[in-house]
Structure formats: C-alpha cells, structure tokens
C-alpha cells in the first residue's frame, strides 16, 4: 500500500509496469512472426502470441487487484480522484490521436497516393510501372494487383454485419449510460442488469467482427495482402476490435466489483473511467463505419 503525504497519495514501488512491458513485447513479437511466416509453414509465432496473451491477462488481474485494494483501503482522496480524472482524459486524448493517425493514413492513401499513381499531378502515367490493368480507384475497383501480390478482391458490404455491429455498439452506449445513472441512484440490481447487457453486447460485437474477418479472407479474398486497401481496412478495424476487447474485459471487472458492493453513489470513478472509454470506442466505430465501409 502507498502512503498519504499531505494532499497526495504516493504509491509503493510496483513491478506491474515492467511485467506489462515484457508481456506486451512478447505478444507483438509473436504476432509479427505469425503474420510474416511463409504460407504453409509452421510458425512459432502462434505459441509466442498465446503466451503473450496469457501474460497480459495475468498482468491485468494482478495490477487491477493492487489498485482495487488501495481504493478499498481508503487511500484515494479528492486530490487523487482529480488526478485520476485528468489522467483518464489525457489517455483518451492520446487514443484519439492514435486513431487520427490511422485515419490520416487512410485519407492520404485514398485522396493523394492513389490518384498520383494514376497519373494525376504531373501527368506521368505511373501505372505503366505497376501492371497493365491497374485502375487508380479505391476499393475493389482499383484491383488488388496480380495474383502473386494479392489478386482481385471484394470489399465488405456496409449494410450487413458492419451495420449490425454499429447498432450493437450504439445500444451498448445506451445500456452503460443507464447503468451509470442507476449507480448514482443507488439501484444496484439495475446496475448489474444493464452492465451485464453492455458486456454481452461487446462480446457479440467481437463475435460478429471475427465472423466478418473469416468471410473476408475465405469468400472475398480481402486479406492483409490486398494492397493498401486491405492494409488500412484490417489496421483500422483490427485496432478498434482490440480496444473493444479491452473495454469488454474492463466492463466485466466493473460488473464483478459492483456485485461485491465496491462502489457508492459519490465514489465510483473506476466505473466512470470505463464508461468514458466505452463511449470513445463507440464514437471511433462510427467514424470507421462511415469512412471505411460506406465512403
């Protein structure tokens, strides 16, 4: 446990940040080897990424337990609460910039790079250096290139699973908001019901996204090798799916804490922080649905 020094809480030394850095490195290392393994060849990347994921889950469990114990011990005063709120705001801002960079890459590739490859600007027909039937257009109309670099592909129709997932996330924003209001009103049973619905909706979103990915690979030939379109599609939707996964896990932990009676009407920042994060994830998806699937 940490110590109170005046208006500030000074935590004890913790090894969890080091553990987090190690397991995240292991996970990314395994993912890189798995994705870059030659087709048909066995890769140790799957084993490494599995070890990394297990390590991340254990790290979350241990780190969350330490923070929860400090909170229940009454170590956090109003100054600490303000610090937590400011920290969460800056964290979400950093996440906004994270996705803004990827949306910027999408905009640049679509509005500038592709037209330039088609000969716009200085009039140089650069497609003659690519392949004969290259078309300077976005999506499947532009072609995925010759067979050895991806081949033709189809895009995911926006009015199927993407629309359904949009409705699911919008509904989940409503359910988590109702749960928040129920917490402030002291209706613990209502909190548990609507928070459980939010977790269920998040898990359902991930299930449908996994189904969409399998359909894209097997039926549409839309893969990571499908040119810049495939790269940006899976980069944006994949990172968003990772954020939904983390948000769902955090919501499940908050549900367990509510069931144990950890929060009160006036002191429940952990609940609010996860709700803020979940609303952020929902807003990002609306941007994805518009710019990746529809336009």
For residue 5, what are the β-bridge partners?
Answer: 8
Does residue 83 share a domain with residue 20?
Answer: no
Q: Say what angle helices 227-259 and 188-218 make with each other, to 10 degrees.
A: 160
Which pLDDT score is estimated for 9? 66
Does residue 71 share a domain with residue 159?
Answer: no
Contact 233, 291 (CB under 8 A): no
- The CATH number for 68's domain is 1.10.287.70
Which pLDDT score is estimated for 145? 66
Does residue 27 share a domain with residue 88?
Answer: no
Does residue 54 share a domain with residue 38?
Answer: yes
Does residue 117 share a domain with residue 30?
Answer: no
Look at the pTM and tell me if it is higher than 0.85. no
Contact 55, 70 (CB under 8 A): no
Which pLDDT score is estimated for 90? 96
Interior CA angle at 103 toward 39 and 139, to 5°? Answer: 55
Contact 25, 53 (CB under 8 A): no
Does residue 173 share a domain with residue 61?
Answer: no
Nearest to 255 by CA among 207, 193, 206: 193
Last residue of a domain, one of 34, 51, 76: 76
DSSP string, 34-98: HHTSPTTS--THHHHHHHHHHHHHHHHHHHHHHHHHHHHTT---HHHHHHHHHHHHHHHHHHHHH
Q: Measure the CA–CA gap between 29 and 26, rounded to whole angstroms.
A: 5
Helices (H), the chain: 16-35, 45-72, 78-108, 114-117, 161-185, 188-218, 227-259, 269-288
Does residue 148 share a domain with residue 265?
Answer: yes
Does 26 reside within a domain?
Answer: yes
Q: Measure the CA–CA gap between 240 and 245, rounded to whole angstroms.
A: 9
Does residue 181 share a domain with residue 236?
Answer: yes
Last residue of a domain, one of 55, 76, 97: 76
Contact 4, 77 (CB under 8 A): yes
Nearest to 149 by CA among 205, 221, 245: 221
Nearest to 63 by CA among 270, 279, 258: 270
pLDDT block averages, 10 residues each, the chain of length 295: 57 85 94 80 82 91 85 78 90 96 92 79 59 72 66 88 96 96 91 96 97 93 86 94 94 92 85 95 96 91
Domain containing 105 equals: 78-294
Does residue 46 share a domain with residue 170?
Answer: no
For residue 3, what are the β-bridge partners?
Answer: 10
Does residue 159 share a domain with residue 16?
Answer: no
Does 3 reside within a domain?
Answer: no
Does 157 reside within a domain?
Answer: yes
Which pLDDT score is estimated for 143? 61
Query: Structurally, how many domains does the chain consist of?
Result: 2
- The CATH number for 90's domain is 1.20.120.80
């Amino acid at each position: 446990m940490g110590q109170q020094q005046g208006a500030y809480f000074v935590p004890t030394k913790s090894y969890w940040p080091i553990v987090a850095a190690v397991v995240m490195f292991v996970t990314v290392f395994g993912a890189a080897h798995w994705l870059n393994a030659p087709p048909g060849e066995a890769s140790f990347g799957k084993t490494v990424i599995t070890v990394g994921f297990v390590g991340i889950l254990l790290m979350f469990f241990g780190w969350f337990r330490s923070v929860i114990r400090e909170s229940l011990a009454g170590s956090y005063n109003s100054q600490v609460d303000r610090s937590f709120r400011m920290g969460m705001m800056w964290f979400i801002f950093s996440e906004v910039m994270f996705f803004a960079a990827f949306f910027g890459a999408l905009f640049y590739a679509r509005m500038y790079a592709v037209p330039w490859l088609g000969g716009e600007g200085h009039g140089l027909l650069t497609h003659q250096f690519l392949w004969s039937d290259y078309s300077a257009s976005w999506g499947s109309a532009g072609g995925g290139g010759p067979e050895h670099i991806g081949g033709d592909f189809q895009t995911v129709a926006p009015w199927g699973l993407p629309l359904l997932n949009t409705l699911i996330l919008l509904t989940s924003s409503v359910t988590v908001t109702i749960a928040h209001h129920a917490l402030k009103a002291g209706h613990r049973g209502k909190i548990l019901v609507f928070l459980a619905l939010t977790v269920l909706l998040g898990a359902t979103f991930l299930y449908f996204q996994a189904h969409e990915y399998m359909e894209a690979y097997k039926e549409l030939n839309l893969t990571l090798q499908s040119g810049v379109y495939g790269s940006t599609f899976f980069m944006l939707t994949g990172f968003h799916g990772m954020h939904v996964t983390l948000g769902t896990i955090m919501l499940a932990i908050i549900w367990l804490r509510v069931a144990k009676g950890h929060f009160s009407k006036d002191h429940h920042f952990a609940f609010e922080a996860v709700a803020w994060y979940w609303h952020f994830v929902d807003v990002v998806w609306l941007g994805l649905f518009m710019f990746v699937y529809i336009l």
